[in-house]
Structure 1
Amino acid sequence: MPDDWTRALAVVAHPDDLEYGTAAAIARWTGEGREISYLLATRGEAGIDILDPAEAAPLREREQRASAAVVGVTSVEFLGHRDGVIEYGTVLRRDIAAAIRRHRPELLITINHRDTWGGTYWNTPDHRAVGRAVLDAAADAGNRWIFPELTADGLAPWNGVRWVAVSGSSSPTHSVGVDDTHLEAAVRSLLEHRTYIEALTDQDPEEYCRDFVAQVTSSSGGRAAVSFELFTR
């Protein structure tokens, strides 16, 4: 992965999306002194079947902020799109482009925007919509004529995004090596989503987190790593 950057913006659909592996790389990067901010399209209100969305939304927002803090991220924003029915289009692109102009990152991070996770395991419409919008908004943010209202609101164009890194891709091109400290931070970060995990599985939450992080960071070379599909600009 390129390492000549100082600021990144991670944009995903739901609380917990970044914690399923990507957080290990984020822990490494913040430990190196890089600045990373999170942008969540939804508050994850439709993600827990036993909780009404009005109750789930603030709970999942709190869990996400605590989870981000574990890996050194203090800036966490929520766009407020409806969980489960995010629509790809100009509204979403504009919201993400505005955030890019505010944060002025060189690197954007998102998760798999493709139809499947590889094979026949179908991806969710929210992931697909947000991932595609991130790739498009990287260019939108630098073009003053696409969303001129952003400039009128004081958000000057930012054409400084150099890469978009997509985690969870079935076609990875790059990887970020991580050590035991980064892996432990990733486990603790995922474990902050305890309410979601306890509703998701009967497995012990910490055991579940350790198993999942170990699985997604394993590599054929024997060294733990987080893989990405890297798009250049």
Structure 2
Amino acid sequence: MTEQFEAMPSDWTRALAIVAHPDDLEYGSAAAISRWTSEGREVFYLLVTRGEAGIDTVPPGQAAALRESEQRAGAAVVGVTSVDFLDHRDGVIEYGPALRRELTREIRRRRPELLITLNHHDTWDGRTSWNTPDHRAVGRAVLDAAADAGNRWIFPELAAEGFTPWNGVRWVAVNGSPHPTHAVDVSDHLERAVRSLLAHRTYIEALTDRKPEEYCRALVSQATSEASARFGGRPAVCFELFPR
């Protein structure tokens, strides 16, 4: 018998979602975020790049502003009004202390109980579907920065800048992981998830020959249906949860 997902924790009020590119959250977490904001929880977005290398037919200089605009629109659909960018170059994010420091600063600034990120593992399926270097670098840096944020002796210069230690991160939730453990019932939030993904229309039109609306609806339906088999038959978004 397939092991069932546990329900995601609900005793929190503030989350910070940190991913590499515009659309990373809309391709997986948006329905869950829609539910959380509708319940009165506060969710902030932090994008490490502006996704300027993501559209083959649009030069990076034009794509950056376009993708930023689409990301803000997609976030607004699911109740997120705060969207920040770190300006790393798309496709060549480097994991290391510099990235951890930036994420630590933002965690201390937002002081979340829950961090949300995208798959940090080498593959998407646990076998041969290779993940991108940006996703791996950012996901791993988020997991590390969750601890860095609470340690006054790591990046002590941040305290001098006003970013005092925050040891209140209780979980890191990784979407798109090949090893999910928890899920969120999103039965009432599928339509908002579709519209949130559809906000990335320029990106999607360059990605597929299908009609954007059809593409988005099929993707959200498939993803939440696959998770439902391990969550009591309810449409769900799943995460690999790392408690702290």
Q: Which runs of 5+ in 2 are unaligned?
A: 1-7
| 1:151 maps to 2:162 | no
User: Which residue number corresponds to residue 233 of structure 2?
Assistant: 222
User: Which residue number corresponds to residue 47 of structure 1?
Assistant: 54
Instruction: Number of aligned residue pairs: give it.
Output: 232
Q: In structure 2, how many angstroms separate the alpha carbons of the residues matched to 1:125 and 1:134? A: 14
Q: Which one-letter code corresponds to 1:138 in the other structure? A: A
Deviations 1:53-111 (A, max 9, x none): 01000000000001000000000000001000000001110111000000000000001
Q: Secondary structure at the match of 1:165?
A: strand
User: Which residue number corresponds to residue 104 of structure 2?
Assistant: 97
* Residue number among 213, 217, 224 corresponding to 1:210 in the alignment: 217
User: Which residue number corresponds to residue 116 of structure 2?
Assistant: 109
* Residue number among 7, 13, 17 corresponding to 2:24 in the alignment: 17
* Residue number among 175, 178, 187 corresponding to 1:167 in the alignment: 175
| 1:4 maps to 2:11 | yes
Residue identity over aligned pairs, in percent, reads 77
Q: Secondary structure at the match of 2:166?
A: coil
- Give 1:116-131 correspondences, 5 Å limit: 116-118=123-125, 119-131=127-139
Q: Which one-letter code corresponds to 2:78 in the other structure? A: V
Q: In structure 2, how many angstroms separate the alpha carbons of the residues matched to 1:127 and 1:154? A: 29
Superposition TM-score, scaled by structure 1 size: 0.98
Q: In structure 2, how many angstroms separate the alpha carbons of the residues matched to 1:185 and 1:92? A: 32
Q: Per-residue deviation at 1:165?
A: 0.3
Moved more, 214-223 or 48-57: 214-223
* Residue number among 8, 32, 35 corresponding to 1:28 in the alignment: 35
Q: In structure 2, how many angstroms separate the alpha carbons of the residues matched to 1:150 and 1:59? A: 32
Q: Which one-letter code corresponds to 2:218 in the other structure? A: D
Q: Secondary structure at the match of 1:217?
A: helix
Q: Which runs of 5+ in 1 are unaligned?
A: none
Deviations 1:99-137 (A, max 9, x none): 000000000000100000013111000000000000000
